[in-house]
Amino acid sequence: MENEDILVYRLGASCDLADIEEQKYYIGKVQGFANFGMFVQLNDRIKGLVHKSNIKAEHKERDTILVKVRQIRPNGNIDLEEVQIQVYQVQNIEKKSTTVRIVDLGTKIGKTVAIEGEVAQIKQTSGPTIFTIVDESGTQNVAAFIEAGVRAYPEIELNDIVKVIGEVMKRNNQLQIEADAITKLSADDAIQVRVRIEKALDIRSEPEDIPLLVKSEVLEHLRPEMKKVAKIIRKAIFTAQPIIIRHHADADGICSAVAIEQAVVSLIKESGADFDADYYLFKRAPSKAPFYEIEDITRDLDFSLKDHVRFGQKMPLVVLTDNGSTEEDEPSYKIASVYDIPFVVIDHHHPDKTIDKYLVAHVNPYHVGGDFGITAGMLGTEVARLINPKVEPIIRHLPAVAGVGDRSEAPERALYLALVRDQYSEDICKYIALALDYEQFWLRFNDGREIIKEILNISGNSARHTKLVALLVEGANAMIEDQLSACMPHVVTRELKNGAKLFLLDVEIHAHKFTFPPPGKTSGEVHDRLCKEYEGSPVVTIGFGPDFAVLRSRGVLMNIPRMVRELHVEIPGGGISGGGHLVVGSIKFVEGMRDTVLEALINKISEAQVQK
């Protein structure tokens, strides 16, 4: 026998008793010993006994051994004989399992199936290793167990294309495959499967072609880019890629982000992910500034890298809304580019041309002849409807809230208000916007997911929503009144050569600190009051501190981002940065240059045209 070329079979993990034949040779592993012989595993499911009279050599547990099947008894017991063969060929035996699509697993409970797909996540628990597999039709968790807390199939890595064979089970009312085998496909097979998945996902991710909520030429021109953003977000959901949405922490930014949040979370749940997947695959985070600060990217990277290492998650898609369009965002983009993090932006700040090279998509009204009057909340809601049209009933009022909250004067504001006037009057929308600003101030960097949903009447308890908004508005107005009573007597008035009235307020020494309203909103409230007092006149208000100034304008056609860039060049040593909209924005500088910077800024404002 030593000189013969003999076939020796290796059983795959999914093989069972029906795959074994008497008088054939198999590769096994020693499992343990008894007085009457030695137990040998042919795979994790099947073991037999080598009687002590048929043992040819000394062995220890887990030794590889060659055996011949002498007999398969009627009760399923297998009698084995050790063989010693010097020359042989190994042939793998895999149980033939029909490859099924993940979407069809619900009809296969209790059956052994095969699926093919991409590994989207590998999470080690205190028990099994959980592999998240994505194919062209859905997402499925696969549990593989060696022993508690030990990584199963360590050769399988994130983004591999694999074949999984296992039994379809139901755990905690959710489908799960108990893996018998997970194998990495060959390069050629993997390419075929990847192409098939990509092609199907491309079709599946395409948004439904639905009409806008309102008739708007600007929004109509933006529709292709909005569909592009929606498709990118849908594909991220279908491939189990985490999504982080960053937004400016005011009513407009919150409305935009929450609209997208509702669409994303509902689609994550619909796509068959874990019951808590919307918490580890989605994160909404407010940004204090109206741009993506270094602090923001640092937090997002820390969050993502930890989850990448601990839970085997992909690096995220980052969605920026009500920020992301200006040169101030660039330093953060550069840091993120080291990790190849993709960005999409939904914004209405005046965009800088240098930014788009960092983005995979960018919705901005300035790109199609519009301006900041089309608010981020309007844009975000329309994108959310494209991501998942089913959420429209609970978010259709958010553009109206965003429009009044951001003081939009665009015709779209009136159209969105008219859309929901039967349930949300303009005053109610203003109250909701103020409640959002007030609550977010106390939330700081927290998203306040559930309480924000209550304020926006998304949770479904309208009575509680009404009561909560009324209390928050009462608190906000009391604090605004207290702040204005303290600072209005200290407003300094100047007449500019272009006929505009300029009002200056030092919010550092003439306003309450570290409370609501903060300096930016305080300046806005002062500006609103002065605009009413000087109805029909061009008005500019500057609220300033030691190293910053906040600008508000009515009737003066200035360009704050351009003014900031010019001052940066014209005043060496000023440390000048900033931006915003054309007539609403902020500027930073070094404290020692404050007077110089403010006077230069005022000179530029005095040279701007005023509306007749």
Count the helices and strands in the chain (H runs, E runs).
16, 25
3-state SS class at 94: coil
Q: Is the dihedral of CA 242, 244, 245, 249 positive or negative?
A: positive
Rounded to whole angstroms, the Cα distance separating 417 from 413 reads 6
pLDDT at 579 over 90: no
pLDDT in tens, 308-360: 887 778 899 999 999 999 988 999 999 999 999 999 999 999 899 899 999 99
Query: Hey, which bits of 240-394 come out as E strands?
Result: 243-248, 282-287, 317-321, 343-346, 361-363
159: left (phi over 0), alpha (psi -120 to 50) or beta: left
Domains and CATH numbers, the chain: 6-93 (2.40.50.140), 102-203 (2.40.50.140), 207-421 (3.90.1640.30), 491-610 (3.10.310.40)
Q: What is the pLDDT of residue 280?
A: 76
Query: Average pLDDT of the chain?
Result: 93
| pLDDT-wise least confident of 30-39, 106-115, 294-303, 359-368 | 106-115
pLDDT at 132 over 80: yes
Average pLDDT for residues 26-33, to the nearest whole number? 95
Give percent above pLDDT 70 in the chain. Answer: 97
Rounded to whole angstroms, the Cα distance separating 510 from 70 reads 96
Give the β-pairing of 501-506 and 492-495: antiparallel
Rounded to whole angstroms, the Cα distance separating 296 from 216 reads 33
DSSP 179-220: EEEEEEPPHHHHHHHHHHHHHHHHHHHSPP----SS--HHHH
If pLDDT is split at 50, 70 and 90, which confidence band does 1 have? very low
Minimal CA–CA distance to 328: which of 363, 355, 300?
Answer: 355
If pLDDT is split at 50, 70 and 90, which confidence band does 277 have? low
Token pair 């049209």 is found at: 389
Neighbours of 283 (CB within 10 A): 21
pLDDT in tens, 474-484: 999 999 999 99
Average pLDDT for residues 274-299, to the nearest whole number? 85
pLDDT at 133 over 90: yes
pLDDT in tens, 391-410: 999 999 999 999 999 999 99
pLDDT at 279 over 80: no
3-state SS class at 458: coil
Q: What is the pLDDT of residue 509?
A: 96
Q: What is the pLDDT of residue 491?
A: 98
Please indicate, yes or no, whether the overall pTM of this predicted structure exceeds 0.85: no
The DSSP call for residue 111 is S
CA Rg, the chain, in Å? 32
Q: What is the pLDDT of residue 3?
A: 47
CB-side neighbour CA atoms (13 Å) of 493: 11
pLDDT at 443 over 60: yes
pLDDT in tens, 499-536: 999 999 999 999 999 999 999 999 999 999 999 999 99
Average pLDDT for residues 255-269, to the nearest whole number? 96
pLDDT at 87 over 60: yes
Which residue type, as a one-letter code, is found at position 452? Answer: I
